[in-house]
Amino acid sequence: MTAKGRYTRLIFPVFILALCVFLWTHIARNSAALDAVPSAVGPGGWPRAMLFGLAFFAVLTMIIEFTEWRQSVRRGGDPEIEAREKNALEPLALAGVAVILAYGFAIPYLGFAFATVLFIIIWCVMGHIHSRLTIALVSILGTIVLLYMFVALAKMPLNRGVEPFNGWTISVYRLLRIY
């Protein structure tokens, strides 16, 4: 376990605990409605039990992680781990996360077809694929195959985006004879 990993494991339960405290008072928008139901448990009973369980195990995790962290600090840092951490490609991971999120949030605007072509191109470039021909073939042919499978065969109403992408997507669909 690297120091960064241990840090995440300590921060994570702290965040969970804070979340539990917040959610305890926000189960329903109208808290009075929870207690108005004549039942031994009511609609708020089960979520409260889950929040309590989550908070309990978050505290236990915090104690265990903090104890183990203190012990590892006492033993001294591991230079090999430090070196490995320096070499870790964390920025690439963060960029990967950002690109995936951007892809998902771009679909309603660009439409599935254009967003997917763009996403595959960016992902291949990030994955150190240098051949432009490979990237072009994989992104365009791959998207066409997916469109045939899901729009033509599965009849899935994949998002076409806002104008002008909606019009462009319809043109592509007509070209592929799936519209």
Partner 1 sequence: MDLASLFWGGIVGAFQAHNFLVLVVGLMVGTIAGALPGISFVNAMAMALPFTYVMEPVTAMCFLGGIYVGGVFGGSISSILINIPGTPASLPACWDGYPMTVKGFSTRALRIAITASATGGFISAILLAVASPPFAAFALKFDQPEFFAATILGLASVVAIAKDMPILSALSMFMGLLIGTVGIDPMYGIPRFTFGVSQVESGINFTVVMIGLFAIGEVIDLLVKQVDLKRKFVTNPGTQITWREIWGLRNSILRGAGLGSMIGMIPGAGATVGAVLAYGVEKQASGRGDEFGTGVEQALAAPEAAKNATTGAAMIPLLTLGIPGSAATAIMLAAMLIHGVNPGPLLFRMDPSLVYTIFVSMLIANVLMIFAAVIVARGFSTLMRVPPAILGAFIIVLSVIGAYGVRNNIFDVYVCLVFGVLGFIMKRANFPSAPLVLGVILGPLAERYFLTSLANYEDNFMIFVERPISGTILALAALFVLWSLYPVIRGRFACAHATKRIRTSEK
Using CB under 8 A as the binding rule, whether residue 113 contacts partner 1 is answered as no
Query: With binding defined as CB under 8 A, does residue 149 bind partner 1?
Result: yes
- Residue 73 in the binding site for partner 1 (CB under 8 A): no
> Considering the complex, what minimum distance in angstroms separates the CB of residue 1 from partner 1?
6
Packing angle, helices 112-126 and 90-110, rounded to 10: 170
DSSP, res 151: I
Per DSSP, the three-state class of 162 is coil
Question: Does 152 engage in binding with partner 1 (CB under 8 A)?
Answer: no
Tell me the three-class secondary structure of 44-81, residue by residue.
HHHHHHHHHHHHHHHHHHHHHHHHHHHHHHHHCCCHHH
57-91 burial code (b ≥16 CB/10 A, e <16): ebeebbeebeeebeeeeeeeeeeeeeeeeeeeeee
Contact between 165 and partner 1 per CB under 8 A: no
Q: Of 3, 14, 118, 138, which lies in the binding site for partner 1, with binding defined by CB under 8 A?
A: 138
Q: Which of 18, 83, 154, 162 binds partner 1 (CB under 8 A)?
A: 154
Asked whether the beta carbons of 175 and 147 are under 8 A apart, the reply is no
Assess 18 for contact with partner 1 (CB under 8 A). Answer: no
* CA distances to 98, 105, 106, 144, 167 from 161, in Å: 20, 11, 9, 17, 9
Instruction: For the CB of residue 129, give the shortest distance to partner 1 in the complex, in Å.
Output: 6
Residues 79-98 that bind partner 1 (CB under 8 A): 88-89, 92-93, 96-97
Residue ranges that bind partner 1, judged by CB under 8 A: 1, 5, 8-9, 12-13, 16, 23, 26-29, 33-34, 37, 39-44, 46-47, 50-51, 53-54, 57-58, 60-61, 64, 88-89, 92-93, 96-97, 100-101, 103-105, 107-108, 112, 116, 119-120, 123-124, 126-129, 138, 142, 146, 149-150, 153-159
